[in-house]
Structure 1
Amino acid sequence: MNIETADLWFVIIGLGLGSFGLRFVFTGLVGNRPLPPWLLRHLRYTAVAVLPGLVAPLVVWPAATGGSLDAPRMAAALVTLAVGYFLRNVIVAIVLGGVTLYGGLALLG
């Protein structure tokens, strides 16, 4: 797939301006004015909402297996979810999920 140079630069510049605009709204326009409590409450959930959207395709349709489910990745996802839910510790959940994935891949291939 070949993309014309002008089209590529148009997309790059457009994405750069959009990214700058999003950041400028919070840093330039809002500045050091206090945000309303309801907005701060919603902003706390941004990472919680974005992270599953980034991780779920890697678990359900992993490129390493040609897009099919496999046991090591599902086990690692379930361990991570269970540990995170019960212990409420993100670091421990990530480490145990990684250990489960590494061990599952070593055992099951």
Structure 2
Amino acid sequence: MNMGTAEIWMIIVALGIGSFLIRFSFLGIIGNRRIPDWVLRHLRYTPVAVLPALVAPMVVWPAATGGAFDPPRVLAAAAALGLGYATRNVVAAIGAGAVTLYAMLYLLG
């Protein structure tokens, strides 16, 4: 696909405007109104739903192994999940996962 510089910049600007409009539709239009309690209750669970959706494919089908099962990544995910659940500390969970991943990659190859 051969695209010129002007076409690429037009696509970037169009995506930027689209992204702004999506955010403005929620923040700009509803920003100064009171959101019902039931909506706020559901919004609290958004990060809890999004983070596993981002991480799970990297654990189950890692690109580094061509989609094959990889014990170091599964062990790192289990360590991060276990420590995060036990301590409720995100930084500690991320650190435990990173340390476990690198240790298992070193030990298991």
Q: TM (normalized to structure 1)?
A: 0.82
Is 55-64 or 17-26 further displaced after alignment? 17-26
CA-based RMSD: 2.1
Change (3 A) 1:108 1:46: same
Is 19-28 or 2-11 further displaced after alignment? 2-11
Aligned residue in 2 for 1:30: 30
Unaligned runs of 5+ in 1: none
Deviations 1:20-50 (A, max 9, x none): 2220122210122221111111111111111
| 2:84 partner letter | G
Is 15-24 or 98-107 further displaced after alignment? 15-24
Aligned pair count reads 108
Aligned residue in 2 for 1:87: 87
Using the TM superposition, give the Cα deviation of residue 69 of structure 1 relative to its aligned residue in structure 2, in angstroms. Answer: 1.1
% of aligned pairs identical? 59
| 2:56 partner letter | A
| 1:72 partner letter | P
C-alpha separation in 2, matches of 1:57 and 1:11: 28
Unaligned runs of 5+ in 2: none
